[in-house]
Structure 1
Amino acid sequence: MEDARRHYLDLIRHDGVRLSPALARAFAAVAREVFVPDGFHRRDGSRVLPADPEFLRSVYSNDVLVTKLNGRQPISSSSQPSLMAIMLEALDVRPGQRVLEIGAGTGYNAALLATLGADVTTVDVQGDVADRARAALARAGITGVRVEAADGYTGGPDGEYDRIIVTVGVAGISPFWTERLLPGGRIVAPVEHAGMHPVLAAGVSGEASVVCPAGFMSAAGPLAARHEGSHPQPPAGPLTGLEEVSRPRWGVSLEALAYRDLWFAAGAWHRRVTYASVPGREQSLLAVLGDGDRHAAVVLPDGGVLASSDRCAAVALALADRWWSLGRPPMSAWRATLAQAGPLLVPRDWRIGP
């Protein structure tokens, strides 16, 4: 088991993910298998049970463990550990701080927070999920965590917090969270942007910055509220009728992270950006949808553009060229101000720089 945990830390650190000594000790100390006692589903939908020979190896992989489905749709999980590590480092938890977690999931993330010395309250809108998280924390011998079945939008039981972390994709920041945040506090949350859920960090000042790219299961209710600045939902099926309007222009094909940087920038500059699938291509692509979603254009990782209308093609080309001409700014360079939009605070006026 010690070898498995050691390998687990190596997997989390892969691709440059930073683990502070305290967070490394927390990942090494908390038994992840205790939080999936009934097994889980992999990304491909296959089921892994505790009796299976590959159970522990799969548990200590750097991958999401899906623990509840609605039909074929995942609705609860233990997140990818490297993403958890990035978010926890961004949260910058100190011993003795009070932390509110929105989305209890399996309870594993709350266990890591408690092991870091935090006093944790975790809430989940699904009562059965909260019950299982509470039982798992007890089995793991984790103290200092309060689990509540409550609406994440309101933040559950009364209280003020030094840190708030959100582990479900949301359309914006709940004003109830900012009201509960103590001076100098921080919120880390995955907020919808162009079909993704990049993780944002925000403080009491209302200024937000980008931590990293991510994809999360989406919340329901007010936390999923559409607003005038919302990007379109990804098309339900593959885009068809696309023709090549621009051949590869950059001399290189962007790697996955750089392509997400382009994607984010395009979404910051234009509200009709999302993602879509295209026949014959495995990965989802940055898409610009026309009004009414009848026409579209996609930007390929090599700078080529496919489109079904001249207007969408012109927008896609302009967005790609703008990003390239600015020196390919990374997602982490972007800043925004949170502003009220319906029931949520959403990023406005995206800009590059401090």
Structure 2
Amino acid sequence: MADARRHYLDLIRQDGVRLTPELAEAFGSVPRERFVPDGFHRRDGGWMTPDDRDFLTTVYRNDVLITKLNGDVPISSSSQPSLMAIMLSALDLRPGMRVLEIGAGTGYNAALMAALGATVTSVDVQADVAGRARAALDRAGVTGVRVVTGDGYPGDPGSTYHRIIVTVGIAGLSPHWFEQLTPDGLVIAPVEHAGHHPVLAVRPGDPVTAAVVCSSGFMAAAGPLGARHAGSHPRSAGVLPELAETAPARWSPPLDTTAYRDLWYAAGAWDRRATLATPANWDQAHLVLLHDPTPAPPTDSMTDTAAKPADDPVTSGAAVLPDGSVRAGGSEADRCTAALVTLIDRWSDLNRPSMRDWRVGLALDGDPAAPIWAPHTWHLVPGARH
């Protein structure tokens, strides 16, 4: 077991994560297997249980563990450990802090925060998920964590927290969370952007602004926290028809995963038609620009995206590959290609800014009866990494 956990830390670090001694101690001491006692879904769709020979080896990989599905859609999990480490590092926890967690999952993330000296309240809308997380924390001997069943939008009325961390993909932040933060409080949350959920570090203020921490993909929240708003990108286009090459490759070697996600983020900041899709016969999702019959003009780096959310049926689109080539299909393939090439050129001309070079302005939007602080403006601050 000791060898497995040492290897576990090495795997997390291999993903480019810097583990502080405190984080390394937390990941090395909290028994992840205690939080999946009934098993989890394999990537091949099967169910892995503690009786399987490679159960512990799989638990201590740097990988997400899916614990609940709704049909074929994951709705609860233990997140990828390297992503958890990045978010916990950005949370800047110190012993004695009070933390509100939106989305309990298996309880493992709350246990890590407790190991870092925090007192945690974890809220999950799914009663069975909350119950299993509570039981897992008890089984692991974790103290200082309270698991509550309820919707995350109201937060925890009547309480005050130094930090709030969100472990579900949201469209924007609840204003109630800001009311429950201390004056120097901080929210770390994955917020929708062009089909993904980049993690934002948000401090309340006037105006409300955020820095981008890292890329991520989370299960999307329902209700007010997942509401469409004026700056929404199209939801994932799913699987597009077969596409033909409409612009040649431009990069050799191709962009690595980090740079490709940086391009993706910039495209989403400049044009709200950007999202993700998996073209036919492709094995992974790519950045695409979808045809919108009444598109909003591409935004500049200081412009509000105020325009109707685009969820019309997809008839045309263009996708960019990591080598910079573009493939497109549909009656508006040429127009989609031209718009996407313009975005790629712009990103290249700006010396390929990182997603962490962006600052995001948030505004109240969403459901008028339950508004959220949603991204509305993007501003490049080159070199000002979070």
TM-score by length of 1: 0.97
Please tell me the residue identity of whatever aligns with 2:13.
R
Taking the TM superposition and a 5 Å limit, the aligned residue runs for 1:169-318 are 169-205=169-205, 206-240=208-242, 242-291=243-292, 292=312, 293-308=314-329, 309-318=333-342
CA distance in 2, matches of 1:211, 1:43: 27
CA distance in 1, matches of 2:218, 2:44: 16
Q: Secondary structure at the match of 1:321?
A: helix
Report if aligned partners of 1:165, 1:189 keep a CA contact under 8 Å in 2. yes
Report if aligned partners of 1:90, 1:201 keep a CA contact under 8 Å in 2. yes
Q: Secondary structure at the match of 1:19?
A: coil
Asked if 1:63 corresponds to 2:63, the answer is yes
CA distance in 1, matches of 2:334, 2:132: 53
CA distance in 1, matches of 2:353, 2:12: 25
CA distance in 1, matches of 2:260, 2:372: 29
Report if aligned partners of 2:49, 2:55 keep a CA contact under 8 Å in 1. yes
Q: Secondary structure at the match of 1:25?
A: helix
Q: Secondary structure at the match of 1:16?
A: coil
Tell me how large the CA RMSD over aligned residues is.
1.2
1:238 Cα deviation from its structure 2 partner? 2.5
* Structure 1 counterpart of 2:301: none
Please tell me the residue identity of whatever aligns with 1:69.
L
Gaps in structure 1 of 5+ consecutive residues: none
Report if aligned partners of 1:234, 1:274 keep a CA contact under 8 Å in 2. yes
1:36 Cα deviation from its structure 2 partner? 0.5
1:213 Cα deviation from its structure 2 partner? 0.5
* Structure 1 counterpart of 2:36: 36
* Structure 1 counterpart of 2:353: 329
1:157 Cα deviation from its structure 2 partner? 4.5
* Structure 2 counterpart of 1:348: 376
1:244 Cα deviation from its structure 2 partner? 2.0
Taking the TM superposition and a 5 Å limit, the aligned residue runs for 1:66-81 are 66-81=66-81
> Which of 314, 319, 334 lines up with 2:343 in the alignment?
319
1:280 Cα deviation from its structure 2 partner? 3.0
CA distance in 2, matches of 1:80, 1:251: 30
Please tell me the residue identity of whatever aligns with 1:216.
F
CA distance in 2, matches of 1:339, 1:44: 41
Aligned residues: 353
Report Cα offsets for 1:288-311 as digits up to 9, x if no partner.
001142111111211111223222
Report if aligned partners of 1:239, 1:276 keep a CA contact under 8 Å in 2. no
Report Cα offsets for 1:230-275 as digits up to 9, x if no partner.
00012232233x3322111233311111111100100000000001
CA distance in 2, matches of 1:289, 1:313: 10
Report Cα offsets for 1:78-118 as digits up to 9, x if no partner.
10000000000000011001100000011000000011000
